[in-house]
Structure 1
Amino acid sequence: MKKSVILRSSTLVALASVFAMSAANAAELKPGDVIDASNFDQVKEDTFEGHKIKDLITDKVEVLIKNYNLKIPLRASEEIPVPQEDIENTKKYAGEVKIDPETKEVTGYKAGTPFPDIDVNDPLAGFKALNNYYYQNTYGNSFDGSYTFLFVDSNRGLDRAQRWWTFSLKMKGRQTGEPVLGDGTLVKKQLLFAVEPFDIKGLGIFTVRYDSKRLEDNWAYVKSVRRTRQLSGSSWMDNMAGSVQLNDEYDGLSGRPSWYPTAKLIGKRHVLAVAHLPLTLVNPSGATNAEKYPTVNTQEKPFSMPAKNVEWEPREVWAIELGMPGEHPYSKRILYMDTKFPRIYNVEHYDKSGEFAKISFVMTTPIKGDDGILSMTPRQGLCFDIKRQEGFVYLQEADAMANRRGVTENDVTLGKLEAAAK
């Protein structure tokens, strides 16, 4: 018996020594260090800004690193200041906002963050966090500008590129002036239409988003008959511009939270995300795809990941499990959303059998609008369908501007879509 006790004690001492040696050998990585398939297993016990690498990288991102050529250069984290206008609006209006525990519908919202204090024990915490994002995901009263869409095959490379132009106007949640435009029934109006190449030029959609459970109204311009046609209410689940990204996935999540049956707040953690992407994303004069799209991997197979010059930093996020309605192509999503301001960085998509099928990243940077107020807009988005081995990337161009001076409600109408198409 004594011998057995001694052996067990010796084993415990040996294990403790191994753990102590591992801790002693762990290093603190520094900005500029790159995590990739060649070194992940060696650095996963190391730390960055005090967090273990294996804790900053989700298991699904680890799959991308090891199997799909994702490289993660590190940068020091940097706080993003919330505009004073949003802080004041939150103090002024948040107390008027309510959420129905049965329908998950929000009422009383005008401006600012609707639910500034999230309690992890609140059964409605997931819906509250997503409504913070839904109402305030892009700072500013308006946003317009061009985007380049890239359609990528992981094995063949870039299939095609398109240019689209968008114009969105917030009807609620406005930073300056009256917080609500109109009668209070609308959240946002948006135009999106194709600019290049010639064979798709003029295609476009006009969207009206209601502040209720009512589905969005969407009108598409049909070139063949030179008329607009209203789309079915289920178009929010359709593929966007023929890509692997769905309409309700743009900018992380564009569907109204109450359209989804469940939203469970899993908890709080830190992940590596792209929250400062100040690089030039589109260079029209570039001679090669690598020069034209410097933040997209167009040179190394597989091709669907960001380029190695895109830097990642630790961000504190809410992890939220979102259940899909029965008719949706997916069964659930896991979203990672910043706890400090409403910005979704990473989304995992699971098919009807519950298998991991697709991943999305939204990459952003703080920019000042035309009026000098800080704005957060999606500079680069990436959606990679693992099963289809196809990717979709959207890149913000240099003409993009938030809070452009002189914008009025008349600038975002069905008539404007028809005029642009013609």
Structure 2
Amino acid sequence: MQLGIPGFRKTVVAGGLALLALAALSLPGEAGVKPGDFITPDNASKVKDLVSPGVYYKVQRGMTMNIVPTERIDWPPPYKDATEKYASQVQLSKDHRSVIGYVAGQPFPLIDVNDPDVATKVVWNALWRPISTDDYDLRYFDCDTVYTGKNKPFFEIWYYQTGHYAGYDLVGRTEVEPLPVDPDFKHTNRLWLFLLGPELAPENERGSSLLRYRYGDPTHGDDTWSWEPGTRRLRRLNEAMNSTATTAQSFSPDHYSGFNPKTEEYDYKFLGEKEMLATVDAEHSPEVRCATDGGGSACPERWQMRHMYIVSAEPRRSFNNAEALDSKTVIYMDSEMWFEPYIDTYDRRGALFRNNIFWLAYRDRPVPDAKIAIYPFKREFVVGSCSTDLQTGQATMCYLPGRETPERECWYINMGAVDRAFFTTEAMVKMSETG
């Protein structure tokens, strides 16, 4: 059993398993790579068992890795304090379709791999992750879509740029008033609000936007709308559309930030815990376009050994997303950061389908020359993300901050940069028509 609060981690030796896990974590060199190694397609076999099958595919086709020492990742102090204050009162409902007693912080900091509910608890922890708890506004990021391959030259087949990737949480707030719960939650039952848009490029899709609400009621599916400026039409989307790729090409709304569909609509299975490679302290911001795989990733970048929980998620047949393209998603969850450095999805035939990678930086500001977004502690920032169709080789690589955008700081997390009024259909339409 492990207490998942960085800086307060305790271990109870149960049959020696926890002790062995800690030993493995402290000896990354025993896993087949060591700090200082540089991984290329020529020696990719060294990391085959240290990454997901989808990430291994990327390395084989040109993505390189700098192996660096493991670094401890601490949670933002307000999130840590909220976990210590409220976690003891949290429990799963009998049907696992809701969490009872949650207020703020991590709902289940005690992770016992022998717990029959461990997979479900890992996923609920990911819903209320420490990376952002109150609000966030990612301004002006851009993406390239390319076909990837070893030593393939960069050839952009599609370019995407948007004005905002923004969210507002009504529950679990730790840094910005109202704390810890927005009073609106009692009236609307909305857990969080999300907006993507307006689209700035390509020109023929300029103004397109996506708005999404998540609810606390396990039987209430997400409400999602899109605005299409060409037809001047506000469209209400079927929930199943969230699992399919939209304007961001290979990305689907359910995978914009790891695994993000409605938690209650999936069945979960714990596949194990393992020491694996991930980027949690990236060197670059903005990220560097990979020159050895056609621009389909960020490389070379720093990868380090991390302790991961591995969980599979399969859509329940009875819920609206039964039409989802993915029959299964395998989630690789960093046990300290509580964000998925990567996920793999499988199609309806059970074949490996898509891989999503997230490169994160750990610092007190999103970019070195920030003037506004500066924090009194380190926190995680996603500085790059990539979704690859492993059956065709097409990849969409996004840069956060963008490589060709007017906004340098890019990320504004838990700063009150957006409020509830930002996330209405009226505001979305107005922004799309004027932006």
Give TM class, smaller chain.
0.7 to 0.9
Give 1:59 shift.
4.7
- 1:319 pairs, out of 305, 310, 334, with 310
Q: 1:57 to 1:204 in 2, by over 3 A?
A: closer
1:33-90 CA distance string (max 9 Å, x none): 211222345xx3xxxxxxxx55434455434333x12222112221111122111111
Supply the distance in 1 between the matched residues of 2:269 and 2:387 (Cα, whole angstroms). 23
Q: 1:104 to 1:159 in 2, by over 3 A?
A: same
Tell me, yes or no, if the aligned pair for 1:364 and 1:380 is still in contact at 8 Å. yes
1:117-167 CA distance string (max 9 Å, x none): 111122211111011111226324211122212212236732121111222
Q: 1:30 to 1:389 in 2, by over 3 A?
A: closer
1:364-416 CA distance string (max 9 Å, x none): 11243555454433221111111122111221113221123464322333222
Alignment-derived partner of residue 9 in structure 2:
none
Give 1:218 shift.
1.2
Supply the distance in 1 between the matched residues of 2:416 and 2:353 (Cα, whole angstroms). 42
Q: Secondary structure at the match of 2:427?
A: helix
Q: Secondary structure at the match of 1:62?
A: helix
Alignment-derived partner of residue 183 in structure 1:
185
Alignment-derived partner of residue 33 in structure 1:
37
Alignment-derived partner of residue 278 in structure 2:
273
Alignment-derived partner of residue 152 in structure 1:
146
Once the two structures are superposed, the pairs formed by residues 364-383 of structure 1 within 5 Å of their partners are 364-368=360-364, 369-370=373-374, 372=376, 374-383=378-387
Look up the equivalent residue of 1:85 and give its one-letter code.
P
Alignment-derived partner of residue 414 in structure 2:
403
Q: 1:170 to 1:376 in 2, by over 3 A?
A: farther
Tell me, yes or no, if the aligned pair for 1:140 and 1:375 is still in contact at 8 Å. no
Q: Secondary structure at the match of 1:265?
A: strand
Tell me, yes or no, if the aligned pair for 1:370 and 1:401 is still in contact at 8 Å. no
Higher relative contact order (CA 8 A, sep 6+): 2
Tell me, yes or no, if the aligned pair for 2:132 and 2:414 is still in contact at 8 Å. no
Supply the distance in 1 between the matched residues of 2:54 and 2:425 (Cα, whole angstroms). 41
**1:341 equivalenced with 2:337 (yes/no):** yes
Look up the equivalent residue of 1:163 and give its one-letter code.
Q
Q: 1:375 to 1:139 in 2, by over 3 A?
A: farther
Supply the distance in 2 between the matched residues of 1:311 and 1:134 (Cα, whole angstroms). 26
Supply the distance in 2 between the matched residues of 1:239 and 1:272 (Cα, whole angstroms). 27
Supply the distance in 2 between the matched residues of 1:249 and 1:258 (Cα, whole angstroms). 16
Q: 1:69 to 1:372 in 2, by over 3 A?
A: same
- 2:205 pairs, out of 200, 203, 206, with 200
Bigger CA drift: 404-413 or 130-139?
404-413
Q: 1:389 to 1:122 in 2, by over 3 A?
A: same
Supply the distance in 2 between the matched residues of 1:125 and 1:337 (Cα, whole angstroms). 12
Question: Gaps spanning 5+ residues in structure 1: where?
Answer: 1-25, 45-52, 282-293
Bigger CA drift: 211-220 or 94-103?
94-103
Question: Gaps spanning 5+ residues in structure 2: where?
Answer: 1-29, 317-321, 365-372, 402-407
Once the two structures are superposed, the pairs formed by residues 150-299 of structure 1 within 5 Å of their partners are 150-154=144-148, 157-164=155-162, 165-176=164-175, 177=177, 178-181=179-182, 182-184=184-186, 185-193=189-197, 194-213=199-218, 214-241=220-247, 243-260=249-266, 262-281=267-286, 295-297=288-290, 299=291
- 1:417 pairs, out of 421, 425, 428, with 428
Tell me, yes or no, if the aligned pair for 1:269 and 1:317 is still in contact at 8 Å. yes
Q: 1:56 to 1:389 in 2, by over 3 A?
A: closer
Bigger CA drift: 316-325 or 31-40?
31-40
Q: 1:37 to 1:406 in 2, by over 3 A?
A: closer
Give 1:318 shift.
0.2
Identity %: 21
Supply the distance in 2 between the matched residues of 1:28 and 1:190 (Cα, whole angstroms). 41
Alignment-derived partner of residue 120 in structure 1:
113
Supply the distance in 1 between the matched residues of 2:115 and 2:357 (Cα, whole angstroms). 27
Bigger CA drift: 193-202 or 405-414?
405-414
TM-score, length-scaled by structure 2: 0.79
Q: 1:338 to 1:307 in 2, by over 3 A?
A: closer
Q: 1:202 to 1:234 in 2, by over 3 A?
A: same
Q: Secondary structure at the match of 1:195?
A: strand
Structure 1 ranges of 4+ moved more than 6 A = none
- CA RMSD, 1 decimal: 2.4
Supply the distance in 2 between the matched residues of 1:229 and 1:305 (Cα, whole angstroms). 32
**1:62 equivalenced with 2:60 (yes/no):** no
Larger Rg, first or second structure (1 or 2): 1
Alignment-derived partner of residue 370 in structure 2:
none
1:226-281 CA distance string (max 9 Å, x none): 24222222222121315122221111111122111x21111111111011124132
Supply the distance in 1 between the matched residues of 2:237 and 2:297 (Cα, whole angstroms). 33
Bigger CA drift: 101-110 or 161-170?
101-110
Q: 1:171 to 1:30 in 2, by over 3 A?
A: same
Q: Secondary structure at the match of 2:210?
A: strand
**1:359 equivalenced with 2:361 (yes/no):** no
TM-score, length-scaled by structure 1: 0.81
Bigger CA drift: 28-37 or 174-183?
28-37
Look up the equivalent residue of 1:384 and give its one-letter code.
T
Supply the distance in 1 between the matched residues of 2:281 and 2:239 (Cα, whole angstroms). 36
Number of residue pairs the alignment of both structures matches: 371
Supply the distance in 1 between the matched residues of 2:429 and 2:231 (Cα, whole angstroms). 12
Alignment-derived partner of residue 404 in structure 2:
none
Alignment-derived partner of residue 123 in structure 2:
130
Alignment-derived partner of residue 16 in structure 1:
none
Tell me, yes or no, if the aligned pair for 1:136 and 1:173 is still in contact at 8 Å. no
